[in-house]
Amino acid sequence: MVKTGGRSRVRVRLARTLAALTIAGGSLAALQPAAAVAAEPLTSLVPVPVSVQPAAGVTHTLAANAKIYAASPSVGDYLAGVLRKSTGYALPVEAAPANPPADGISLLLSGAPGSVGDQGYQLTVSAQNVVLRANTAAGLFSGVQTLRQLFPAAIESATVQPGPWMLPGATITDHPRFAYRSAMLDVARHFHPVDAVKKYIDQLALYKINYFHLHLADDQGWRIMIDSWPKLATYGGSTQVGGGPGGYYTKAQYSEIVAYAASRHITVVPEIDMPGHTNAALASYAELNCNGVAPPLRTDIEVGYSSLCISKEITYQFVADVIREISALTPGPYFHIGGDEAHATSDADYQTFMAKVLPIVAQHGKTVQGWHDIAKVQLPGSAVPQFWGTTTADQGVVNAVARGSKVLMSPANKAYLDMKYNSSTPLGLSWAGFIEVQTAYEWNPGAYLNGVPESAVLGVESPLWTETIVTSAHIEYMAFPRLAAHAELGWSPWSTHNWNQFRTRLGAQGPRWTAMGINFYKSPQIPWDTGGNPGVCSQPAWDAATVYTGGNVVSHNGTKWTAKWWTKGEEPGTTGEWGVWRDDGPC
């Protein structure tokens, strides 16, 4: 899990705080467009679809009197809610007839190819109408996210824009590589209120994320009311990293988050970490400590020092009560028990604890998830170890797979969103290394761990630990653009994996994020699309044959660049953290 200490390797203080995409007629060439050129929608989709077949010369313009015909009223209302704000159109939602009308947008639960499964879709844009077909409402919802990206970026604006609202003609057939695509938010280190969590859920939905792991308790705070142990929230939730006021969710608020996620076809996975990472609980109830003395609340970011008392029977009553109350509020199939960095628990005690706790989870109708540390015990075949290591081998995970487990992939040096992009990143930690966008993208979840074939991989998760993350703007800066890279790893076929193509498609997302007000990191690895409206560069154009020294300013791809030291032939915007060129923004 966590990751501040990285298994005690580094203690960091807070103060230091797609192969080709098939398109009718051929494949996308290596994409290196100038940032000043507005992206063509069919070659700018993230995640890249399984199949895109353009209809040459065909466009569809959304009419002011258009209707949405929906076999799933909730998905129809969701789409209308997105489009109404920017278009100003009424876009009434009506029940879909048996055959799609010759106009408007139809969302149908019939006629989709069987190959798209439960989460895929087929989207057809003609001059007359738009028809989205799927086998389930979840599939329609996924297709709606693709449809949004076919519109101009201004479709994401919160205020009425002038349009016109044109879509390129095409048939897109799509389905996910992995059925499980997740993101995690730690609300224990810093508490994040309901509205902030909802905002992040909406952003996850944009990229077809369908699970949301909520890390609800840790050493620094307990964030959900448990009626049978109320001081967990009222006292254990009263602070956070750095000594702020903390906070917690009432049961009604937690249920509100769960329901909101469900409306975006996202399933919530609650986590209560145990037997370690439990100082907030131990501080709240002295009887949970072996010596009967409650320790003080903690606001630092150390790890590995706390443990529930394995020999006390009240420990298991506490665990059963917590699992029972949270499970009753959580319709999803999983309960995450943490299990990582239990350095204050002996191996024998860890085995004893898990032998008692695993059946408790099952008694309440949930399937166990835990950080891959839990694989050192003999897990049931249904259990899901979540790999967060920084190597490509773990014998415990291999043993769990041999007993039937599937693995959730979150290698910390690839998938952790709280790792800094580079040494200058103002937020985050770096114990697992720096993770620029290319590092986040360039790994294969289905062939990453030795002895774990793709058939044994449940999916991909992007955890965001919040030792340094206080606001929604902080969440956005660390999640975007890396979350989109992980989303493509989870959704798109590995055969489409191509960094040069991805970086250009990702750059086309920039105007959308700007329209939505997302505070994203403008990685110099990405040729960010300016929406076709660049300024005029007054600086001299970069020249590969010229020698530049620190302080020299050039223009390249509609952007100003300042040399940090001597360079010759190194193209601005093509290197990562150690690149010589500083991005000074668009001209």
Q: Which residues are catalytic?
A: 341
Query: 217 and 277 in contact (C-beta within 8 Å)?
Result: yes
Tell me the C-alpha distance between 75 and 68, whole Å.
Answer: 10
What is each CA distance from 152 to 479, 518, 520, in whole angstroms? 23, 17, 19
In contact, 183 and 110? CB cutoff 8 Å: no
Helix H segments across 410-519?
412-415, 437-441, 472-479, 482-491, 499-507, 510-516
- Angle, CA 105 vertex, CA 529 and CA 170 arms, to 5°: 55
3-state SS string over 372-420? HHHHHCCCCCCCEEEECCCCCCCHHHHHHHHCCCCEEECCHHHHCCCEC
Q: How many whole angstroms separate alpha carbon 357 and alpha carbon 308?
A: 12
Q: How far apart are the first and last CA of the chain?
A: 42
**Percent helix, percent strand, percent coil in the chain, to nearest 5:** 30, 20, 50
8 A C-beta contact, residue 278 and residue 308:
yes
CA-wise closest residue to 526 among 487, 572, 563, 475: 572
Q: How far apart are CA 475 and CA 518, in angstroms?
A: 10
Helices (H), 131-275: 137-150, 194-205, 231-234, 251-263
Q: Which of 488, 445, 442, 440 is nearest to 464 (CA)?
A: 440
Cα 26 to Cα 23: distance, rounded to the nearest angstrom: 6
CB 284 within 8 A of CB 236: yes
Question: What is d(CA 241, CA 470) in angstroms, rounded to the nearest whole number?
Answer: 10
Q: Give me the residue label for tokens 């693995």.
A: 407
Q: Taking each helix axis from N to C terminus, what angle separates 482-491 and 499-507, rounded to the nearest 10 degrees?
A: 130
Q: Which two tokens stand for residue 366?
A: 């949930």
Give the DSSP H/E element, type plus range, for residue 474. helix 472-479
- Alpha-carbon span 14 to 428, nearest angstrom: 9
Separation CA 214–CA 273 (nearest Å): 11
